[in-house]
Amino acid sequence: MTTPRTIVIKIGGGEGIDLEPALNEIASLVRDGARVVLVHGGSHETNIVSEQLGHPPAFITSPSGHTSRRTNRKTLEIFEMVYCGKINKSVVERLHQLGVDAVGLSGIDGGLWRGARKDAIRAVEDGRTVIIRDDLTGRVEHVDGVFLNMLLDHARTPVLCPPALSADNEAINVDADRAAAITASALGADELLLLSNVPGVLRDPSDPSSLIATAGASDEVVRAAAKGRMKNKVLAAEEAITGGVGRVVIASANADTPIASARTGAGTVFEGAPA
Amino acid sequence: MTTPRTIVIKIGGGEGIDLEPALNEIASLVRDGARVVLVHGGSHETNIVSEQLGHPPAFITSPSGHTSRRTNRKTLEIFEMVYCGKINKSVVERLHQLGVDAVGLSGIDGGLWRGARKDAIRAVEDGRTVIIRDDLTGRVEHVDGVFLNMLLDHARTPVLCPPALSADNEAINVDADRAAAITASALGADELLLLSNVPGVLRDPSDPSSLIATAGASDEVVRAAAKGRMKNKVLAAEEAITGGVGRVVIASANADTPIASARTGAGTVFEGAPA
């Protein structure tokens, strides 16, 4: 008897991503005995609903050029409606239809994802650097693996999404790629797949054929190539490998079989040192 | 050593209900060792968000005069955004701030609440009785008490809301009072409290002093007095008592200490036959 594989799969919430192929593959993995944790995004849908509710999305650009969602209390409320309500529950419902006993949870439920809130964020506005102090964002630093394993041991498939819970028990927006990475580490996962609108780390973001096929745990070529949102994915991949995850693949969610494709290496593959 | 009490508390989502006093009382009950399950509503907030999103709420009136929300796919999506997203997560966050390790779940998560979808609903429209076949509503018939007890045994406090999951694994809107009642039965709860905008069953709905203080398990006076939404609460109370719950109180959520008030009998009290 072999130990069942533990696979953490993050699927981004970018425009045009269809979850259906991946959900079918997850059902098949679970049927075959894999322990799967799904982490989902929802940024595009959040932008749409924010506009509809008269609270257009706003973004912060850091001095290093990284962009993130400006999250005040009203933003967080809409964020929770879309991530924890609309998307999470539609994924859970669909997985049940595919025979998977899915349980949808946000990072605040049971304090599953805990981390510090950033008390000051440096942002560039009109060429000036300003300090923002009321942003409800942070980073996941601790995952309740005991709780997740309890669910997995009872044949439940966790479907997770932000927000997380701060040390002061405030809901905070967190990067879901890095949350998936630390979740994979906490579970000692064999694999982490980061699926989104891009095929992997590209040397030239405008040229899909410039894909970097393999990366080390701290690979300067990959780091230099990663721009914008991809920086976080590379950071997440490195953190997962450092945290003991066997293999990380940054790959496209837009394929007939995105999970099988990623697992067979169609993307940028990070591999840990052999045990 | 005494067995900890199990208390299921339903708080309605009517206009003007402030959850804060009840959440503080729940924190105190949990600290004192009680096993608490909270079920919440969200109808008023759902009406507001539905209007904001350009999908005004619609209601169905049955031939017997009972009113329920017309639930098509779009309604259900907004319903999930408000119940499972906005309200559930704000309650979970607040309970964590009060020291309670709350876990928010809808009835579809883990198939916690299962029941049949109504395949045909009789409704009165412009004086005519019509049959509606695409409504996504039903009634909870089975509760996964094993899953809830697993959470309670690990010192987690479940915070539950509709929708439930149909036999065909579709999300369905269900009455949360009756869902709370069958949940209380499944857990063998000592108490079920149904808190809302009304002080209890009134002989005359316009006269708060006409409160019926005590009711039997199938009490014709109470049944006759219950009009509109109160019919469901009385049905829920009767179902809980029949299901073995020790005591049910229909009481007001609008009090300084709504839970303590209900528990000391300020409302309509239903009591089961002594064991």
- Three-state SS string across A162-226, please? CCEEECCCCEEEECHHHHHHHHHHHCCCCEEEEEECCCCCECCCCCHHHECCEECCCCHHHHHHC
- Residue A217 scores a pLDDT above 70: no
Ranking A163-167, B178-182, B215-219 by mean pLDDT, the lowest is: B215-219
Can you read off the two tokens belonging to residue A180?
A: 């998936």
Distance, CA of B263 to CA of B275 (rounded, Å): 20
Nearest C-alpha neighbor of B181 from the set B153, B146, B141: B141
Q: What is the reported pLDDT for B62?
A: 86
Q: What is the reported pLDDT for A185?
A: 98
Q: What is the reported pLDDT for B125?
A: 87
- Residue A74 scores a pLDDT above 70: yes
Q: What is the reported pLDDT for B52?
A: 95
- Look at residue B45 and give its three-state secondary structure: helix
Q: Which residues contact B125 (CB under 8 A, 6 or more apart)?
A: none
Distance, CA of B240 to CA of A71 (rounded, Å): 43
Q: What is the reported pLDDT for B158?
A: 98
User: pLDDT per residue over B156-173, tens digit each?
Assistant: 999 999 999 999 999 999
Q: What is the reported pLDDT for B273?
A: 66
The torsion angles phi and psi of B127, rounded to 5 degrees, stand at: 80, -10
pLDDT category, B67, cuts 50, 70, 90?
confident
Check A89 against B106: CB less than 8 A apart.
yes
| Within-domain flag for B186 | yes
Domain of residue A250: give its range. Answer: 6-271
Quote the percentage of chain B above a pLDDT of 70.
98
Q: Which residues contact B134 (CB under 8 A, 6 or more apart)?
A: B72
CA distances for A198 relative to A37, A191, A241, angstroms: 21, 19, 21
| Within-domain flag for B101 | yes
Q: What is the reported pLDDT for A218?
A: 74
Q: Could you give the number of structural domains in chain B?
A: 1
- Look at residue B208 and give its three-state secondary structure: helix
Q: What is the reported pLDDT for A13?
A: 95
Asked if A171 is an interface residue toward chain B (Cβ–Cβ < 8 A), one would say yes
Nearest C-alpha neighbor of A96 from the set B48, B229, B244, B172: B172
Distance, CA of B235 to CA of B189 (rounded, Å): 17
Asked if B90 is an interface residue toward chain A (Cβ–Cβ < 8 A), one would say yes
The reply to whether ipTM tops 0.85 is yes
Check B96 against A81: CB less than 8 A apart.
no
pLDDT category, B139, cuts 50, 70, 90?
very high
Distance, CA of B209 to CA of A114 (rounded, Å): 49
Secondary structure tally for chain A: helices H, strands E: 9, 16
- Residue A1 scores a pLDDT above 60: no
- Residue A275 scores a pLDDT above 60: no
| Within-domain flag for A63 | yes
Q: What is the reported pLDDT for B272?
A: 79
Average pLDDT value for residue range B90-119: 97
| Within-domain flag for B160 | yes
Nearest to B96 among A85, A108, A156 (CB): A108
| Within-domain flag for A1 | no
Helix (H) or strand (E) holding A6: strand A6-11
Q: Which residues contact B99 (CB under 8 A, 6 or more apart)?
A: B27, B30, B31
Nearest C-alpha neighbor of A184 from the set A253, A138, A238: A238
CATH code at position A72: 3.40.1160.10
Asked if A80 is an interface residue toward chain B (Cβ–Cβ < 8 A), one would say yes
pLDDT category, A67, cuts 50, 70, 90?
confident
User: pLDDT per residue over B200-209, tens digit each?
Assistant: 999 998 898 9
Nearest C-alpha neighbor of A118 from the set A68, A80, A164, A166: A166
Average pLDDT value for residue range B91-109: 98
B154 contacts in chain A (CB < 8 Å): 147, 150
CB B239 within 8 A of CB B140: no
Nearest C-alpha neighbor of A32 from the set A10, A1, A4: A4
| Within-domain flag for B1 | no
Average pLDDT value for residue range A114-119: 94
| Within-domain flag for B139 | yes
Average pLDDT value for residue range A14-35: 97
Q: Which residues contact B95 (CB under 8 A, 6 or more apart)?
A: B23, B26, B27, B102, B157, B159
Asked if A17 is an interface residue toward chain B (Cβ–Cβ < 8 A), one would say no
Q: What is the reported pLDDT for A180?
A: 98
Handedness of CA B98, B102, B104, B105 (dihedral sign): negative
| Within-domain flag for A226 | yes
